[in-house]
Amino acid sequence: MDTSPIRILSDKLREFARERDWEQFHTPKNLATALVVEAAELVEHFQWLRDHESASLSAEKLKQVEMEMGDVFIYLVRLADTLGIDLFAAAEEKMAINAERYPADKVRGKALKYKEL
């Protein structure tokens, strides 16, 4: 039995939705849309801040950012569960692809797209 933190959270989120009869609304399209909306709400907290300001948020602002990050994470986990995707496996696979695309010796200190190397 998978007892990873993601699986436990996924199970809790599925039960939360089931108790409210929300599974009917949790289609991949709707969850992906909600994820993007929440990501936009997260970005809104940083809009127009200077780089140094974005790295030194007040306690109140940091709490608001934390809650938006929680929303983004919840929708991502819910979407993965709905589609049967293992997020850890997907992240590991993507990191392996990125390691090939962005060899450290070629990209160190550069913010280039792999096609520009």
The reply to whether the predicted model has a pTM over 0.85 is: yes
**Residues 67-110 pLDDT 10s:** 999 999 999 999 999 999 999 999 999 999 999 999 999 899 98
Domain count, the chain: 2
Task: Name 71's Cβ contacts closer than 8 Å, sequence gap at least 6.
Answer: 38, 41, 42
CATH of the domain at 28: 1.10.287.1080
Q: Calculate what percentage of the chain has a pLDDT beyond 90.
A: 87
Give yes or no: residues 25 and 76 share one domain: yes
- Segments forming the whole domain that contains residue 91: 86-117
102 and 60, same domain (yes or no): no
Pair 28, 76: CB distance under 8 Å: no
pLDDT in tens, 16-69: 999 999 999 999 999 999 999 999 999 999 999 999 999 999 999 999 999 999
